[in-house]
Amino acid sequence: AKAQGGKFALLGRTALADEPAAAKGIDGDAQLKGALLNAAKSSGGAMPSPAELGKQVSRILAGREVRATLAAIEAAGAKARYVPVDVNNNAAVNAALDTIRKDWGAITALVHGAGVLADRFITDKTDDQFTFVYDTKVGGLRTLLAATANDPLTAIVTFSSVAGRCGNQGQCDYAMANEVLNKVAAAEAH
């Protein structure tokens, strides 16, 4: 962004929502949980479970990260837009990219950094856990490549991991998905 300017459309699963008033100006996981818990107590409403509290804090921190990334891109002199979309939803990705093309023109570069973890030994991993991890990387790349097939791409960047080459305990799905990304990137480069 600093070197070239340009326009950056960021797609991600995080739904951006306004932060609760209790979270404003509070940093850190434990501090946010405490502030949200105190707000729930003082309002007399239902008390969130630890799991619900953790999810709420995760959403707040993810939203902050997205907003900080957009601000950094714009501070570097480029334009930035965030579109909440699941990279495995073909129709939603196509609709998002159609809007981006309409507003900004053809897509010229693709960076695929989506990834999730569900670390478990292979004997303990469910099919759903495997599919979620594998499809986020591999299915997501497939969706993005199909959606940009008619764009004049000059760069395709994928975020892989050394786990794709060396493996990592509890990450059979993640390792396989990363190695597929490595192979697809090599094929695309060729």
Q: What's the pLDDT band for 2 if we cut at 50, 70, 90? A: very high
Quick one: 23 exposed, middle or buried, by C-beta within 10 A (0-12, 13-18, 19+)? buried
pLDDT at 44 over 90: no
pLDDT at 134 over 90: yes
d(Cα 76, Cα 121) in Å, to the nearest integer?
43
Q: What's the pLDDT band for 46 if we cut at 50, 70, 90? A: confident
Among 84, 65, 78, 95, residue whose Cα is nearest residue 15? 84
So what's the pLDDT on residue 45?
A: 80
So what's the pLDDT on residue 173?
A: 94
Range 13-41 average pLDDT = 93
So what's the pLDDT on residue 166?
A: 85
Q: List beta partners, residue 9.
A: 81
So what's the pLDDT on residue 89?
A: 95
> Rounded to two decimals, what is the model's pTM?
0.86
Q: What is the mean pLDDT of the chain?
A: 94
Range 5-23 average pLDDT = 93
State what percent of residues in the chain have pLDDT above 90.
87
Q: How far apart are the two ends of the chain, measured CA to CA in Å?
A: 27
d(Cα 62, Cα 56) in Å, to the nearest integer?
10
pLDDT at 176 over 90: yes
Q: Which residues of 169-178 are buried (b: 16+ CB within 10 A; e: fewer)?
A: ebbbbbbbbb
Could you give the C-alpha distances from 116 to 50, 94, 138, 174, 176, in angstroms and in order?
Answer: 22, 22, 12, 8, 13
pLDDT at 132 over 90: yes
Among 46, 45, 49, residue whose Cα is nearest residue 57? 49
So what's the pLDDT on residue 164?
A: 80
